Structure 1
Amino acid sequence: MSPEEKLDPLPDSFILQPPVFHPVIPYVTTIFGGLHAGKMVMLQGVVPQHGHRFQVDFQCGCSLQPRPDIAIHFNPRFHTTKPHVICNTLYGGCWQAEARWPGLPLQRGASFLILFLFGNEAVKVSVNGHHFLHYPYRLPLSRVDTLGIFGDILVKAIGFLNINPFMEGGREYPVGHPFLLKSSRLEVPCSRALPQGLWPEQVIIVRGLVLQELEDFTLSLRDKSGHIPVTLRASFTDRTLAWIYPWRRKKLILAPFLFYPQRFFEVLLLCHKGGLKLALNGQGLGATSLDQQALERLRELRISGSIKLYCVHY
């Protein structure tokens, strides 16, 4: 894409904020588009061996003077006899009544994955995949536009995501999978085995960043004979997204084109009895037909293109 070429205008709901890796603490950043029900913020990191406390603040602005209101103050404390978490709200320079949760599931020297899921009335917080607390809003969620992280914490990654559009009302934290994994390097092209094929309610999650070198992005599903029943392809030459079937049959997907240089993306594929449902950046975009026997015969997920992968989960 040439410097003078402009990106296609996208609805705000299609734009996802890129993840942040290894920020220096204290760290303060703008939350693109603010917070709204259905949005998630994921924090992946480590508690230092001698850490006393840290805090994650969802703020209404980022000024130093006067101090901004803090809608949600999440404050784990390790230095007391009984480690616990304090949640609170700062309004007009004054702290309100504390809410306290004992049984802190974070440990000094240990890695963690914290997920903040924002609902209509309260924020739910899970730690390492298990629900820990919910904190009712005391200030309107629409006022929050800034994230602040302070104290004794080593942050590996911060992710800004939308709730899984296929599972609302189902599992509380459906796509809280880490961006950084110790055990594997996500090099492209990337191949992952599907030993049991695909089954109903299984979700494939692919998150990444488009690089400057523009090559078509493809996500292919192959059976044990090497046949490719279906491929999801984003073409940079004509800026289209399509399902590709055997014998070059193509079905265009009507949606804004998301795959531009330095733009973050999230692809979700939900397996169901009639095939695969697709969502991009949290927006459902319909489905493709594939019978259950064909889904069960699949044995490989392959991803290629000019992208940097952050997460592949299924």
Structure 2
Amino acid sequence: MAASSRSQTMMGPPTFNPPVPFTTKLHGGLTARRTIIIKGYVLPTAKSFAINFKVGSSGDLALHINPRMGEGAVVRNTCVRGSWGSEERKIAHNPFGPGQFFDLSIRCGTDRFKVYNNGQHLFDYSHRLPAFQTVDTLEINGDVTLSYVQV
């Protein structure tokens, strides 16, 4: 009981209709069982956009989600000390088309991120940055408009 009420208090108030590019602090860092909610709209002329879970002090990216409309791909990767890892692209369905709305729920687990769109499982991404708790920044940029962000 105490743990769940504590994790609830760490979530900040939602941000409505923030401008893009959007950056916000993840107060308390990225902890297991923390869920980030991002709702938005892919612009009709969109080429790509990115959602980054970043370590502010080093610039490392624990999770980079990069839907690319021209490729029909949702690229996931990690960047540590300026070096990108191997891309993950396999996905059962791609909800990020031009002119489409999305409702992402990104849940941090002890060994992986679990990502859902409109309540449907989209993909899992195993942690490649072992100290995922050092992630303290969320960045969203590219060809999207955002309607709601809850960290």
TM-score with structure 1 length normalisation? 0.44
**Offset from partner CA, 1:165-220 (integer Å, 9 cap, x none):** xxxxxxxxxxxxxxxxxxxxxxxxxxxxxxxxxxxxxxxxxxxxxxxxxxxxxxxx
Counterpart residue number, 1:73: 64
Q: Determine whether 1:90 maps to 2:85.
A: no
**C-alpha distance in 2 between matches for 1:33 and 1:91:** 21
The offset of 1:143, in angstroms, is 1.2
- 1:116-195 equivalences in 2 (<5 Å): 116-139=106-129, 140-160=131-151
Instruction: Flag the structure with more relative contact order, 1 or 2, with Cα contacts below 8 A and sequence separation at least 6.
Output: 2
Q: For residue 78 of structure 2, what is the amino acid of its counterpart?
A: T
The offset of 1:13, in angstroms, is 6.0
Query: Percent identity between the aligned chains?
Result: 33
- Indicate the SS of the match to 1:97: coil
**C-alpha distance in 2 between matches for 1:114 and 1:70:** 19
Q: 2:16 aligns with which of 2, 18, 21?
A: 21
Counterpart residue number, 2:37: 42
- Indicate the SS of the match to 1:142: helix
**C-alpha distance in 1 between matches for 2:8 and 2:117:** 27
Segments ≥4 residues shifted beyond 6 Å: none
RMSD: 1.7
Unaligned runs of 5+ in 1: 1-10, 161-314
Counterpart residue number, 2:3: none
Q: For residue 99 of structure 1, what is the amino acid of its counterpart?
A: E
Larger Rg: 1
The offset of 1:99, in angstroms, is 0.9
**Offset from partner CA, 1:82-103 (integer Å, 9 cap, x none):** x111110010011111111243
Query: Does the C-alpha gap of structure 1 residues 45 and 73 become closer, same or farther in structure 2, counting only changes over 3 Å?
Result: same
Q: For residue 85 of structure 1, what is the amino acid of its counterpart?
A: V
Q: For residue 122 of structure 1, what is the amino acid of its counterpart?
A: R
- Indicate the SS of the match to 2:133: helix
- 1:231-270 equivalences in 2 (<5 Å): none
Whether the aligned pair in 2 keeps the contact of 1:26 and 1:148 (CA below 8 Å) is yes
**C-alpha distance in 2 between matches for 1:38 and 1:104:** 25
**C-alpha distance in 2 between matches for 1:16 and 1:92:** 29
Q: 2:88 aligns with which of 92, 99, 112?
A: 99
Q: For residue 82 of structure 2, what is the amino acid of its counterpart?
A: G
Q: For residue 114 of structure 1, what is the amino acid of its counterpart?
A: L
Whether the aligned pair in 2 keeps the contact of 1:53 and 1:75 (CA below 8 Å) is yes
**C-alpha distance in 1 between matches for 2:134 and 2:10:** 20
Q: For residue 25 of structure 1, what is the amino acid of its counterpart?
A: V
Counterpart residue number, 1:54: 49
Q: For residue 137 of structure 1, what is the amino acid of its counterpart?
A: H
- 1:205-224 equivalences in 2 (<5 Å): none
Q: For residue 84 of structure 1, what is the amino acid of its counterpart?
A: A
The offset of 1:110, in angstroms, is 1.6
Whether the aligned pair in 2 keeps the contact of 1:12 and 1:33 (CA below 8 Å) is no
- Indicate the SS of the match to 1:154: strand
- Indicate the SS of the match to 1:104: coil
**C-alpha distance in 1 between matches for 2:89 and 2:54:** 20
**C-alpha distance in 1 between matches for 2:96 and 2:119:** 12
Query: Does the C-alpha gap of structure 1 residues 15 and 122 become closer, same or farther in structure 2, counting only changes over 3 Å?
Result: closer
